Amino acid sequence: MKVFYNYIVIALSILIIGCQNNDEIVENNTDLKSKTNFSTKEFPNEIININHKYDYYGKKFQITYVFNNETQELIDAYGDDAIAKEIFGKDKEGPQGTLVLNVKEEGNYKEITMKIFDTVNEIDEYTKEEQVTEPTKEPIKGKLASRNNCFDIDLPGNDEIRFFEDINYAWELTDIRGLNKRTYGKQYLGHNNDRISSFYMRSNEFQQVSFYEHSCYTGKRLTFNKYHTSQFYGESNLRHHTLSGTWFWRVSWNDKISSFWMP
């Protein structure tokens, strides 16, 4: 009888321990599943890849930047670093002009194709040649925006351009917006200096806007072209465009614009 009682005690003990273990396994699995769902739900677009495809007088190379899209911090960078450092060396002045040819976005990936020029005036010369394929466009007026000009210009027309203080077209800087414009330029932005983070423009024709690092249309220049294929064109985040340097000491165009010209 005593032996039978011991068997019962052992059997009950195994059953109790087994139930506890199963409960712990279920609880652990539930916690793991919950944490996985939380991560997927809370941070689906936190990390983005920005691929810069450069063309520097026929020398083509790429650099991919990995950003934390919430904090806008640079996490990693990789690609043709030797060429990038040669052209955009940290201690060098570097090229003065950047012409954005195309921007593609898909999910957490963004690709920016651009041509790099040693001087800002070369952008206008290149764009003139490019307009041979745009027969309905009048001769480009970009030559008016030379580095020697230091005045505002405001000619009426059908084009529109808007500027925003934050990324993703938030908090418009209404006092420098351009509505019903043909040619529009501001040589000094006043209290809006170094505040532009995104922009968009609307036109039924080819249109161009150039941003300058300094007032009076001087310093480095970032140029965007809007072609006939679309009515609207914009950049939701100027942090994705490099003003100077590369890698982890890279400086973006965000909050670095002091004048602009839409010829």
Question: With contact defined as beta carbons under 8 Å apart, do 119 and 99 qualify?
Answer: no
Strands 242-244 and 59-68 come out as unpaired
Which of the four pLDDT bands, split at 50, 70 and 90, describes residue 7?
very low
- Compute the distance between CA of residue 112 and CA of residue 223 in angstroms, rounded to an integer: 13
Q: Please give the pLDDT value at position 56.
A: 97
Q: What percent of the chain has pLDDT over 70?
A: 74
Q: CA–CA separation, 30 vs 181, rounded Å?
A: 60
| Band (45; pLDDT cuts 50, 70, 90) | low
Q: How do the domains of the chain map onto residue ranges?
A: 1-42, 47-262
Note if the pTM is more than 0.75: yes
Closest CA to 54 of 78, 89, 87: 87
pLDDT, tens digit, 9 for 90 and up, residues 73-124: 889 999 998 999 889 876 667 899 999 999 999 989 999 999 999 999 999 8
Tokens of 118: 């040693």
DSSP 139: P
| pLDDT at residue 151 greater than cutoff 60 | yes
- CA 210 from centre of chain: 16
The pLDDT value given to residue 215: 96
pLDDT of residue 6: 46
Which of the four pLDDT bands, split at 50, 70 and 90, describes residue 217? very high
- pLDDT tens by residue, 193-216: 999 999 999 999 999 999 999 999
For the chain, percent of residues with pLDDT exceeding 90: 58
Most confident stretch, 139-143, 147-151, 166-170, 247-251: 166-170
Domain 47-262 has CATH 3.40.50.150: no
Contact status, residue 160 vs residue 180, Cβ threshold 8 Å: yes
- pLDDT (tens digit, 9 = 90+) per residue, 119-143? 999 998 998 876 655 444 454 444 4
pLDDT digits (tens, 9 = 90+) for 32-43: 233 333 232 333
Distance of alpha carbon 44 from alpha carbon 47, whole angstroms: 8
Q: Tell me the average pLDDT of the chain.
A: 81
